[in-house]
Amino acid sequence: MENKTFTQYNNFINGEWTESISKKYYSVSNPSNYSEIIGEFPLSEKEDLKRAIEHAQEAFLLWRKTQAKKRAEYIYKFSQELENNINYLAEILCKEQGKPIKEAISEVTRAVRESRFIASEAERLDGVTLPSDRIGVENKSIRSPIGVVAAITPWNFPVLSPIRKILPAIMAGCTVVLKPASETPLTSVIITEILEKTNIPKGVVNLTIGKGSTIGNYLVGHPLVKGVSFTGSTSVGHKINEIAAKDFTKVQLEMGGKNPAVVGKCKQLNKVADEIVNACFGNAGQRCTAISRVIVLDEEADKLEELIIDRVKNYTLGDGMNKNNDMGPLINQDAVDFVSQQIKIAVQDGAKIAAGGNQLNSDIYKKGFYFEPTVLTKVDPSMEIAKKEVFGPLLVIIRAHSFEEAVNISNNTEYGLTSSIFTDSWEYAFNFTEDVESGMVHVNNGTNSEGHMPFGGIKHSGLGAFSIGSTIKDFYTDLKVIYTQYK
């Protein structure tokens, strides 16, 4: 590659764009065309994090006393500026992360809507007042912001994820140190620039960019950090929880999933196939909420397999900036290699590749990380592929002989994020919602969540208060109980 100077970006600490103490940078490429460099970003060191955390703590002492309405005004200003830049930010997202432009626009548009809901929550930071057993005593509880929050975000939703952590924190009166995924830092830079335009006080929001292996543990374990909101893999979530536990630091962990879709006693299989394929292969399957397992009763199995395979074979792959493409690339070659290896193991275990199964590396695909949308059939529930998260464009189809067996298969995994059932039977629907082990359940629709509803999982998919919706205040605030003798 020829020598060329690319745009260099820096950290944002205490209201200023600041070069890392390391003075070292790394480059980020477009996964659709890795010869296209998006920019160069700082390789931050612990000293950079120390400065950001200390400034965030200093800012917290004043920000926590800022009226809730005033904090909301900053967020409303941000949402308006974000709306003014939907297309620009979506294009950056598409080039940096690879998802199709229509999905990128949808992500930014949703971020605008959610930011306005979050702003409105500032004036709903409710407590309770209860009668006292004593004469002349008032008993009440209020919500108090927890302090400096470390926001550690993933690469698969690089606009929506930071906004779901930064804005609830500042709404509640906390301050933030944001550490975005090293694969997709530019969107976080732009989000921070938009926040800067609101004239939010210095130190309330800080951005530090770098490799998690270098600065992640330091950020999580710093004694001034009172909360860690993390979205990412279960393995990293485990490590964060271990570090945070040493100081009893509050954690909100959104982790992996192996999300099932159960199908039984259902006539509208064409609609079901559409819902499943969209929920599986959106963002090339790189979604923690993606449907990755179809568990179908024998009566519908042949027809549903045929419909799903037909749709997948008609998928168009390519650069996300082409509006005609259904699916873009994976994030990097490591992701491609992992998906390939998991398919190879599954086939050795007896699964059959019914569609896809290959990396694309010829012609228009040769400079990107493209992998065919893949469907595996003849999958037994005992196989590793039936239980392990792959985080790529892979759907496994498992047959069940009864509804009860289908529910048992659904629960036979360490994960419990989200699930779906497609059925015309209300008995199946209600029994499934009661018995399935997942934090979120969908009846006759895919696994899309809504921005005013709580979002989270159980088992190894989540820990701590659910995010989004009214439950955001449960993480970013602590209860303080006050007894006042007034007589």
pTM, rounded to two decimals: 0.95
Residue type, 346: A
Phi, psi of 325 (to 5 degrees): -85, 140
If asked whether residues 245 and 264 sit together in one domain, one would say no
Concerning whether 288 is annotated as a catalytic residue, the answer is yes
* Residues 322 and 244 placed together within one structural domain of the fold: no
Identify the pLDDT of residue 334. Answer: 97
Neighbouring-strand partners of residue 207: 12, 178
Based on the domain organization, do 38 and 153 belong to the same domain? Answer: yes
Indicate whether 248 and 137 sit together in one domain.
Answer: yes
Catalytic-role residue among 96, 254, 372, 389: 254
Dmax of the chain from CA atoms?
83
The residues that bridge with 443 in the sheet, in sequence order, are 421
Q: What is the pLDDT of residue 213?
A: 87
Q: At what angle do helices 160-172 and 68-84 cross, to 10 degrees?
A: 160
Give the single-character DSSP code of 200: P
pLDDT at position 234, please?
96
Question: Token match 């990412």: residue?
Answer: 232
- Tell me how crowded residue 223 is: count the other CB atoms within 10 A of its CB: 11
Which phi and psi (to 5°) does residue 224 adopt? -80, -15
Q: What is the pLDDT along the chain (487 residues), one digit of tens a residue?
A: 233 457 999 999 999 999 999 999 999 999 999 999 999 999 999 999 999 999 999 999 999 999 999 999 999 999 999 999 999 999 999 999 999 999 999 999 999 999 999 999 999 999 999 999 999 999 999 999 999 999 999 999 999 999 999 999 999 999 999 999 999 999 999 999 999 999 999 999 999 999 998 899 999 999 999 999 999 999 999 999 999 999 999 999 999 999 999 999 999 999 999 999 999 999 999 999 999 999 999 999 999 999 999 999 999 999 999 999 999 999 999 999 999 999 999 999 999 999 999 999 988 999 999 999 999 999 999 999 999 999 999 999 999 999 999 999 999 999 999 999 999 999 999 999 999 999 999 999 999 899 999 999 999 999 999 999 999 999 999 999 999 999 8
Length of the chain equals 487
Q: What is the CATH number of the domain that holds 272?
A: 3.40.309.10
Same domain, 389 and 283: yes
pLDDT at 5: 54
Residues 147 and 196 in one domain: yes
Residues 264 and 244 in one domain: no
Check residue 478 and give its pLDDT. 97
Asked, for residue 456, whether it belongs to a domain, the answer is no
pLDDT of 2 reads: 36
Q: Is 264 found in the same domain as 251?
A: no
Element (H, E) at 29: strand 25-30
Q: Which structural domain, as residue segments, surrounds residue 480?
A: 11-255+461-484
What local confidence, expressed as pLDDT, does residue 375 receive?
98
Same domain, 234 and 382: no
The DSSP H or E segment spanning 441 is strand 440-443
pLDDT of residue 180: 98
Q: What angle do CA 316, 319, 322 make, to 5 degrees?
A: 75
In this prediction, residue 3 carries a pLDDT of 39
Whether 455 maps to a domain, the answer reads: no
The answer to whether residue 138 sits within a structural domain is yes
Q: Does residue 165 belong to any structural domain of this protein?
A: yes
> Structure tokens of 67?
């009226």
Do 326 and 444 belong to one domain? yes
CATH number of the domain enclosing 146: 3.40.605.10
Q: How many domains does the chain have?
A: 2
- Establish if 143 belongs to a structural domain: yes
Other CB atoms within a 10 A radius of the CB of residue 317 amount to 23
Instruction: Point out the catalytic residue in the list 94, 121, 288, 389.
Output: 288
Mark whether 173 and 279 lie in a shared domain.
Answer: no
Do 473 and 438 belong to one domain? no
